[in-house]
A and B are shown apart, each in its own frame.
Chain A
Amino acid sequence: MTDGFVTASGVSRHFTPSLPLGERIVAAFGGAVERRSVRAVDQVDLSLRKGEALGLVGESGCGKTTLGRMIAGILPPSDGALAIAGEPVMTCGASPRKTTTRVQMVFQDPFASLDPRMRIGDALAEGPIHHGLVSKAGAVAYVRDWLGQVGLEPDYVSRYPHQFSGGQRQRVAIARALAMRPDVLVCDEPVASLDVSIQAQIINLFLKLRRELDLTLLFISHDLGVVRHLCDRVAIMYLGRIVEEGPTHEVYADPRHPYTQALLDSVPKLVLEEGAEVRFKPIQGELPSPLAPPPGCHFHLRCPFAAERCAVERPTLRPVATGRRAACHFAKTDLNIITGSSSSPAVIASGAKQSS
């Protein structure tokens, strides 16, 4: 995909835990030590159109936060390229630096993401002044304006973060990100730590900001309900890979990957009838260790439809309907395979030989 505004192509991120002392000594004397690394994100291709809101959904440890941090330019990818409107997010080399202000991030915990010793007016003005978006003289008016935009009193400029409630702090954090006039906003679970009623206020704020500012939104969440409400498209991650992606309402209504299906079945729904027997269809088993993910399809150990092939061959993320992709060998597809070259069965079979 090259038509995207935000593009991630073949992006991976590995973390290599440092070895225990004993093994390090063994290694120093030339012993064979198995150096395992976690592939937090494993060759992900993803793209966002301008003005689109994409929900990145998955359970803890699936790599969604790592992917979000790479797109936001906090973490350099181990492999692959990230770009916004064709420009790279970070420089290459030994000590990569973020070079663009076009993407900003909102963090999960509003109590940790604001400097406790800085008045919020200064915190909001710092970046814009440094990057020349506003003069020092104009900074106060600029900051007051942004506080108003996120639904806070402009007079709060001289307050410290501890003087705000959780919901208000998240508004401040959003204002700080927006004051940099980004095109893209990466939000990492921005409502997960908030109470339901406050959560709704912040979701409404995102809806309003999207309408007014033509923002491209990458919304990372484990909450399928919030994503359905806010996002045009959704991408489901499992153990470092995207397993399914497509328009939110289509994916929710008709999931093509068994993991998506299972995830949707696991979400508790509001039960409004007396005596209704509530049945979940929980996914069997536990998340495998990311240090040693199963070969082939990462999900095959827990998948009710797994076949032999799933244990050996990594499924590619292939088109299964217009604008929809899924990474499952057995995903139902309603495309008449003329357009997609990679999705013809013959090509899959030959691609399998290459990859394995």
Chain B
Amino acid sequence: MSAPLLDVSGLETQFPTRDGVVRAVNGVSFTVNRGEILGLVGESGSGKSVTGFSLIGLVDAPGRIAAGSVKLDGRDIVGLPNDELRAIRGKRISMVFQDPSMTLNPVLTVGDQMLLALRAHERISAGDGRRRCVAALEQVGIPDPGRRLDSYPHQFSGGMRQRVAIAIALLHKPDLVIADEPTTALDVSIQAQILTEMKALARDTGTAMIWISHDLATVSSMADRIAVMYAGRIVESGPTATVLRDPRHPYTRGLLDSLPAIAQAGEDLASIPGTTPSLLKLPPGCPFAPRCPRAQPVCANEPPLAVEGDRTFLCHFPLGVRA
């Protein structure tokens, strides 16, 4: 097997606040291979978005990456000076946000900002640039792209705006796209369109993707591998279908059982009791222990990282494994 495209190891991102240090990402390690889609799943506060931002050095001060490395093709990009990071962002790694207005400038036409994005990394004539932009919009399924280039973002519908943001993210044929809840704000019918198109685009261009979402169903239909996050850690990872069919970590099991799609209509859902712990005051050892049905006193100790074939999990008492 060739070396992974992205190798994240021991990543810790912290935010000092008045009440103490928030450990948003607390020792996260994973790899992404070329052309692979990794689904990063978790609930709010699990650290999945902060992980995404940390990868490309977009952690707002006073937050900081306290430890760990992010190796892109073997080169650590944590702590690189800003201009070197900028050369990577948008070119080799690009990002798609939940809210496309984070990418789109409301006072520039879509064509102008696409051209700006192009020229940020290469010298290109206006005519060639325009052709590239038209092709990029066409690729993401925007009808009549030549005319739409001269429209402003507000003249697009929500779904179309997100497509434009995706087109911009793909302009430089990046090695990796980090997509942070890109379809969460969209209606199901538009979401279905975009999921289909993004999956096809990733396959056709060989772009790897980190698909960050709270929705197990969209991740299961997109991702080759899945990493489940809880309280700043990856508690379980592995091939998507295998993990979801037969989870090892009780939290993954709990998430699946919380879905109404699995239960019999009208019956109580097997919900996870309690709420996610405060990242300021994490319990010692396994952060899920206070809500876990399998918890024992030993769970107050750091859980061991188990490796089973191509999957990993962080649990003292994993499911479906004979002791």
Contact = CB atoms under 8 A, between A and B. Distances in A.
A60 interface: yes
13 contacts: A59-B187, A196-B258, A200-B259, A201-B271, A204-B268, A208-B268, A228-B261, A229-B269, A268-B191, A268-B218, A273-B241, A276-B241, A282-B193
Contacts of B218: 268
B244 A286 contact: no
A198 B276 CA distance: 9
Interface residues of A, number: 47
B64 interface: no
Contact of A263 (B189, B269, B273): B189
Contacts of B190: 282, 286
A285 to B, nearest CB: 9
A274 B258 contact: no
B214 interface: yes
A348 interface: no
A204 B159 contact: no
B7 interface: no
A341 interface: no
Contact of B271 (A200, A271, A282): A200
A278 B199 CA distance: 10
The 4 closest A-B pairs by CB, nearest first: A200-B271, A200-B258, A229-B260, A266-B192
Contact of A267 (B160, B188, B271): B188
B312 interface: no
Interface in A190-216: 195-201, 203-204, 207-208
Nearest to A226: B260
A265 B262 contact: no
Nearest to B222: A278
Contact of B196 (A168, A203, A222, A282): A282
A283 B193 CA distance: 8
Contacts of A286: 157, 159-160, 190
B217 A269 contact: yes
Contacts of A273: 241, 245
B2 interface: no
Contacts of B267: 207
From A203, A265, A275, residue with most partner B Cβ within 10 Å: A203
B284 interface: no
A199 B261 CA distance: 13
Given A229-B265, A286-B160, A272 B188 contact: no
Given A203-B269, A271-B220, 7 more contacts: A60-B187, A196-B43, A196-B258, A203-B271, A268-B217, A273-B241, A274-B241
B85 interface: no
Contacts of A225: 259-261
Given A204-B268, A222-B188, A271-B221, A228 B260 contact: yes
A197 B187 contact: no
B239 interface: yes
Nearest to A59: B187
Nearest to A278: B221
A207 B241 CA distance: 30
B275 interface: yes
A275 B217 CA distance: 15
B127 interface: no
Given A59-B187, A199-B258, A283-B189, A207 B221 contact: no
Interface in B248-270: 254-263, 265-270
A283 B186 CA distance: 14
B217 to A, nearest CB: 4
A263 B265 contact: no
A203 B242 contact: no
B226 to A, nearest CB: 11
B266 A270 contact: no
Interface string B121-136: 0000000000000000
Nearest to B158: A60
Nearest to B240: A271
Interface in B277-302: none
B44 interface: yes
Given A266-B191, A280-B195, A286-B159, A249 B241 contact: no
B192 to A, nearest CB: 4
Interface string B104-133: 000000000000000000000000000000
Interface string A164-196: 010110000000000000000000000000011
Nearest to B223: A271
Contacts of B5: none
Given A203-B269, A272-B220, A286-B160, A59 B260 contact: no
A248 interface: yes
Contacts of B216: 196, 270
